[in-house]
A and B are shown apart, each in its own frame.
Chain A
Amino acid sequence: MWRRAQPAQLVLPFRRTGVDMDAEIRGYRQRWIAQLILTILGQGISFVGFILTTLFRTNTMPEKWLAIGGFWFGLGLLLFTASRIAIPYADPIILPLVLTLTGIGLAFLYRYDLTSNQDPMFYTQFLAVAVGVGCLLVIIFLLKDPRRLKGYPFILSALGFVLLLLPLIPGLGSSAYGSRIWISIGGFSFQPAEVAKIVLAAAFAAYLSDKREVLSMAGNRILGLDLPRMRDLGPVMVMWGMSLAIMVFQNDLGTSLLFFGLFVMMIYVATGKGSWVILGLVLFAAGGAAVVKFASHVQRRIDFWLRPFDYPNDATQIIQAQFGFSHGGLLGSGWGMGRPDLIIFAYSDMVAASIGEEIGIVGLMAIVALYGILVFRGLKTSLVTVDPFTKLFAAGLSFAFLLQTFSIIGGVTRLLPLTGLTTPFLSQGGSSMIANWILIALLLVMSHQARRPHAQIGEASAWGITALGEESTQVFSSRELAQIGIGEIHPIQEINAEQVRLTLTGQPMIAGGDDTGVPNEETTEVVPNLDAQFYPNRTRYELAPESLFVPQEPKPAPQIPTSFEDDDDDYFGKGTE
């Protein structure tokens, strides 16, 4: 038997910082018309680029343009239809953006093949895009709940670190233009960082969603800054060591920045403490400075970046890219009218420079804007998500994408030392294309989960707090409980580590929804207690261990003065002048 504890009254839908209140109050619509229009327009843009190439060069339509166009728009239509079916509430902008970028990359590869004497790459790349889309479809249909990835932080971390260090294994890793961030197996080369960024974002999210309370505890206060406690520095030092190792042994600042930055940003998101960011920046700057001083090959890369024209034989790529931009100017030379054949790796490392030459800085800025909006939508997904793991995972994926794009486009435009990372969706290369489609698929699933209206009766959910309805079991996530209007919610009656017994009385109302049919009487259910401890502010009956076993103390009686008149404001010292 369990004791009946003091009823607590839920006053309002409690909300936490960092939760998108719009979403909680208003909910999101399905935006299929917007998505359709944007898909068609985005695909059309890249298709126009594809046609302009041969139109400008030879005044003809491209070979097999109807077939290629058919496949291209067919792919878009397939994606559109599948996303309507599997993830109807997902962000309507992400897919069109990705299709636009992919299409511009494909159109550029088609154009590159025309003037190169290498094997044509366009069709292989088209196939890689199709495989990437296939992976996306599998994920959006099969992975209904991204939280499934949560259970294995250490396996995921180990996998991520192994992937990161793979290129250092002799015989397996291969180095290209100074960076050792590729592995090649049987003629296929592959950049493990592409997969590692997804795996590590999941690992960090799992770890941090577990440890964020601890990590946000303040330690010493130095110069007005609350530093984290020394004992919590372990993981960040491990990441710091890893990133310095990548800088020294793989000689790639971009990869190093990507993974250390990813970790630091995710700690920041998890704890909300700016001191972690400052600590990370200081560590990275100090470590980087030391490495540059003592590792001469790293120093050389910095020299190539700062003074490329002093090293015409070594910094060729960077110099060529600068000439390309200069030739393109503001409006670009026009599709097919530039000279990407002069740039080494114009189709992979330097793709932003080659495209920038042909569509000019105006076009390149548009592409940067597309990346920016994509990252913004990813972070928005993180904002509207309630579950901490998913929230961190979405933020991590967005940051990884952001840092990667920033590193490579920054490198190409000489804002940063050049890195060998791929440009997502633009670079030639199957592994990068597929990995980034998987990343997008995960974001879309999370976006759908976050934006869809909740509390669908009878839907199974492995977490949350469950109250038994009249006929069917009604499943509430913490968000729904936050949205339940006024009503008495009794504190936990009985608890063990695995389960929660929640009694709900009153008429729960889901924001914007209909009457849920839960009768105005007590309902009780035993539910799994998985994530509830993460929502301390949300509901008063929360599941912190100390509050679980002890019934909540009755509130102290308010000290209401016993004698006053209805309008006697003076009593309270308000207008005694």
Chain B
Amino acid sequence: MPLRGADVAEFTVLVLKIAFLAILWLFILLVAAVINSDMIGSRQRRTDNVDLPPLPDSRKTKRGKKEPWVLAIDSGIHAGDRLQLVPEVRIGRSEACELVLDDDYVSSMHAMLSHREEGGWFLKDLGSTNGTFVNAERIAHPTTVGVNDVIRIGEVQMRLEI
């Protein structure tokens, strides 16, 4: 049997060893808290706070309506991104596209989002394998999209935002 200090009662040993285990696990909890704050901390650096350069002149239509010039990505690997649009955005897996979606269901040249000079955006499927969807319907023709439409390409959902 191990030696035992005569003065240390068995009860004290029990309490102390439980206390040791408690601080060990407390340490792990604290580490978890630090990890958590590491992940969700410092939110100040969102891309949407970055000043974007001036938009093209056609931002407002003739009737003075504000137009969407931002594409918000809601799901998929780029979820949370808000992208400043250019008048003509090819979407696909190819590097030649303006918006590169690294998604297995996206064709290399999948779709094109274009701005018309008169205002408004239209979306055109460029012969993709898995189709381009607006509000869950596969589009067959170039389709006008506005802020209320949900665009889905592969597993990536996106919306226009003002």
A interface residues with partner B (beta carbon < 8 Å): 9, 11-17, 21-22, 25-29, 31, 34, 37-38, 41-42, 44-45, 48-49, 52, 55-60, 92-93, 96-97, 100, 115, 331-339, 359-360, 362-363, 366, 369-370, 373, 376-377, 485-487, 506-507, 509, 511-512, 536-537, 540, 542, 544, 552, 555, 558-561, 564-567, 569, 571-574
Contact = CB atoms under 8 A, between A and B. Distances in A.
A56 B6 CA distance: 9
A566 B34 contact: no
A12 B84 CA distance: 7
A540 B95 contact: yes
Contact of A93 (B35, B89, B140, B144): B35
Contact of B21 (A92, A359, A373, A559): A359
Given A55-B16, A334-B16, A566-B119, A486 B53 contact: yes
Contact of A506 (B5, B43, B53): B53
A566 B31 contact: no
Q: Most B CB atoms within 10 A — which of A12, A338, A360?
A: A12
16 contacts: A12-B83, A12-B84, A25-B45, A25-B46, A27-B45, A59-B5, A93-B34, A333-B2, A359-B20, A373-B35, A376-B35, A485-B84, A540-B96, A540-B98, A558-B114, A566-B119
Contacts of B122: 572
B31 A373 contact: yes
A544 B7 CA distance: 76
Given A21-B80, A362-B21, A569-B144, A41 B30 contact: yes
B150 interface: no
A57 B45 contact: no
Contacts of A486: 52-53, 84, 86
A45 B23 contact: yes
A199 B153 CA distance: 43
B116 to A, nearest CB: 6
A100 B27 contact: yes
Interface in B85-130: 85-86, 88-90, 95-96, 98-100, 102, 112, 114, 116-120, 122, 124
A331 B17 contact: yes
A163 B52 CA distance: 54
A57 B2 contact: yes
Nearest to B3: A57
A55 B98 CA distance: 68
B17 A52 contact: yes
Contacts of B61: 566
Contacts of B14: 331, 334
Contact of A56 (B4, B25, B102, B116): B4
Q: Most B CB atoms within 10 A — which of A11, A331, A573?
A: A11
A320 B122 CA distance: 74
A45 B81 CA distance: 43
B45 A9 contact: no
B140 A92 contact: no
Given A338-B2, A507-B53, A17 B83 contact: no
- In order of increasing CB-CB distance, the 9 nearest A-B pairs are A512-B45, A59-B5, A573-B141, A12-B83, A26-B45, A334-B17, A59-B7, A11-B98, A366-B24
A479 to B, nearest CB: 13
Nearest to A535: B95
Nearest to B88: A558
A537 B103 CA distance: 12
A44 B44 CA distance: 35
Given A334-B16, A339-B2, A369-B28, A542 B50 contact: no
Contact of B13 (A56, A373, A485, A552): A56
Contacts of A569: 144
Nearest to A336: B2
Contacts of A552: 96
B5 A11 contact: no
B45 A485 contact: no
Interface string B123-159: 0100000000010000111111000000000000000
A572 B141 contact: yes
Contact of A38 (B31, B43, B114, B139): B31
B47 interface: yes
B30 A370 contact: no
B99 A56 contact: no
A566 B118 contact: yes
B99 A12 contact: yes
B120 A555 contact: no
B130 to A, nearest CB: 18
Contact of B28 (A58, A92, A366, A571): A366
